[in-house]
């Protein structure tokens, strides 16, 4: 276990963001949570579409802004949940979404606007921050929040290093 792990990549366009998401998606395991933050239009949904592709989701992944939680079946019987808390009215309302059932289910979860559920996401999880640097340029920062097994982080680093 290590205390802090951080990796940064530069994406020059939408396709690259998606591709980095897909690489991350291939690495994810049941129970993993990815919190994707960044301003509107940064590419959070694009990144999560990449995650879904890497996980083998065949349905098109849309932004679930109006329904907050969208489920997709995964090969092997588990589920992928795309959560978007943008429209969450207050932090307490997060309980009504039943997110805790999803955590218990050993699903794979990617969450937009995790700040709206600040302090409620169980560790360890991966935090991805998309920082717009220009028209189509984004900095993608990936951080382990809480302790992941070191071997898993090394594997992810190797996968992302070969992008
Ligand atoms: N490098 C990039 N990565 C992701 N999206 C990009 C990039 N460059 C331009 N875009 C555009 O930015 C927008 C991102 O939209 P979206 O993923 O819905 O953002 P968010 O979910 O963060 O609000 C899309 O219109 C996409 O085409
Ligand atoms: Mg979005």
The pair of structure tokens assigned to 69 is: 């939680």
Query: Which among 14, 40, 51 is the best mutation to test ligand 1's pocket, defined by most ligand atoms within 8 Å of the CB?
Result: 14
- Whole-number Å distance, alpha carbon 65 to ligand 1 midpoint, is 15
User: What are the tens digits of pLDDT across the range 29-42?
Assistant: 999 999 999 999 99
Query: What CATH number does the domain containing 122 carry?
Result: 3.40.50.300
User: What are the tens digits of pLDDT across the range 80-124?
Assistant: 999 999 988 887 788 788 888 888 888 999 999 999 887 889 999
Is residue 70 classed as helix, strand or coil in its secondary structure? Answer: strand
CA-closest candidate to residue 81, choices 121, 40, 115, 39: 121
15, 93 contact by CB (below 8 A)? no
What is the rounded average pLDDT of the residues 128-137?
98
Long-range contacts of 89-98 (CB under 8 A, 24+ apart): 91/116, 91/117, 91/118, 91/120, 94/120, 97/68, 97/69, 98/69
Number of domains in the chain: 1
Which structural domain, as residue segments, surrounds residue 111?
5-161
What is the rounded average pLDDT of the residues 4-14?
95
User: What are the tens digits of pLDDT across the range 68-84?
Assistant: 899 999 998 999 999 99
- Whole-number Å distance, alpha carbon 49 to ligand 2 midpoint, is 10
């Amino acid at each position: 276990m290590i205390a802090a792990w951080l990796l940064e990549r530069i994406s020059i366009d939408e396709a690259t963001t998606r591709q980095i998401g897909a690489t991350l998606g291939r690495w994810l395991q049941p129970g993993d949570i990815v919190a994707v933050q960044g301003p509107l239009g940064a590419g959070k949904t694009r990144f999560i579409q990449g995650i879904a592709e890497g996980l083998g989701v065949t349905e098109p992944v849309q932004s679930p802004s109006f329904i907050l939680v969208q489920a997709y079946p995964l090969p092997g019987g588990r589920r992928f949940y795309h959560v978007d808390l943008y429209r969450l009215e207050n932090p307490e309302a997060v309980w009504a979404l039943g997110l805790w059932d999803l955590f218990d289910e050993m699903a794979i979860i990617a969450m937009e606007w995790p700040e709206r559920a600040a302090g409620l996401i169980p560790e360890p999880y991966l935090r991805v921050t998309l920082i717009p640097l220009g028209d189509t340029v984004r900095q993608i920062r990936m951080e382990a929040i809480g302790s992941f097994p070191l071997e898993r982080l090394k594997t992810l680093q190797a996968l992302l290093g070969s992008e």
